[in-house]
Amino acid sequence: MRVLELAPQVYATGQLFETDLQLLSKQGVRSIVNTRPDNELEGQPSSAELAKAAEEFGIMFVQFPVDPASITKEVAEAFMKACDELQRPLIVCGRSGGQSTKIWETAESL
């Protein structure tokens, strides 16, 4: 799993699977925000599946699907508000990590 640090205790990564959540919990991750919409690609776990697995490991899971082509100021502000309410370390994930990084950078620039 490739991880990019976006801010202190905030990281972006690509697609997570249920098996990744055990490793993340051992590394102390407290929260995950998934920016990928369900059914984006075949073979990806659903948000409900990831949320269930996260709960088993004591990780808060938030689904915040983002269309990278339409990240408005309002969407970025809502995203940052959701992230601000979560415990750190925080993982922001999506299919490749690109849209997660983009929305974080957009929200930070406001």
Tens digits of per-residue pLDDT, 20-72? 999 999 999 999 999 999 988 888 999 999 999 999 999 999 999 998 788 89
Q: Using DSSP, state whether 60 is helix, strand or coil.
A: strand
Q: How far is CA 78 from the centre of its chain?
A: 14
Q: Of 45, 48, 38, 47, nearest to 19 (Cα)?
A: 45
Distance from C-alpha of 92 to C-alpha of 11, rounded to nearest angstrom: 6
Write the burial class of residue 16 (CB in 10 Å: 0-12 exposed, 13-18 middle, 19+ buried): buried
- The model's pLDDT over 65-96, given as tens digits with 9 standing for 90+, comes to 998 788 899 999 999 999 999 999 999 999 99
Q: Domain locations in the chain? A: 71-110
